[in-house]
Structures are given as C-alpha cells and as structure tokens.
Structure 1
Amino acid sequence: MIYSCEEHIDIAIDTVVDEHETFPILTKISEEEKLSTACEYCRNSAVYLVANE
C-alpha cells in the first residue's frame, strides 16, 4: 500500500504495477485520514491509497 498526493499518483501506480504485475486499486482517502496521512514521496497530505488488493 502506498499513500500518495495528487502530484505523485502516477509514480505510486507505476510502483504497484512493477512490484505486483497487476493493476492497482485506487481509493480516495477521507478528509479525516488526510489530516494525519502523508504522501510517501513528498510528505504533503495524501489524497489516494494505492494498493494491489
């Protein structure tokens, strides 16, 4: 699972595809989660959770 902001969503998708060889599932993070969850690439507030399951 990768938390990503709008700017880095393409990198997160590519990472999941490369690692798991399947299209990822994108889930939009709720407003409450945004406050405490950072993007794994830049530490801005995450908007999406990118996962393989």
Structure 2
Amino acid sequence: MIKPDRTIYYLSLQSMPFVRPNFSEMLQALDFIIKHAYPARGEYAGAV
C-alpha cells in the first residue's frame, strides 16, 4: 500500500499462499487506518 505522499505504508512479499489477509478484513483495517491516521509500525513522526 502506498500513501498519498508516495511512501510505502505496507509491503508484503511471500511465495506461499498461507497467511494471506482476508480481503474484507484488509478493507476494514484500511478504514480504521485512514479514520484514525494510524501510523505504520515503526514510523516515528515526532521531533528528531
């Protein structure tokens, strides 16, 4: 998934079909992420 500023929010590479996210659950997660401006894991937006 690419954010509007063209940075990567989520990336998954795999060669097996196991543990792929359910599409409807992924859409629900995206709705939550957008509604709450939820940051990506490890993203830091504070002062440096």
Compute the TM-score of the two structures, normalised by the length of structure 1. 0.31
Q: Which has the higher contact order (CA 8 A, sep 6+)?
A: 1
- Which of these two proteins has the greater Rg computed from alpha carbons? 2
Structure richer in helix, relative to its length:
1
Compute the TM-score of the two structures, normalised by the length of structure 2. 0.32
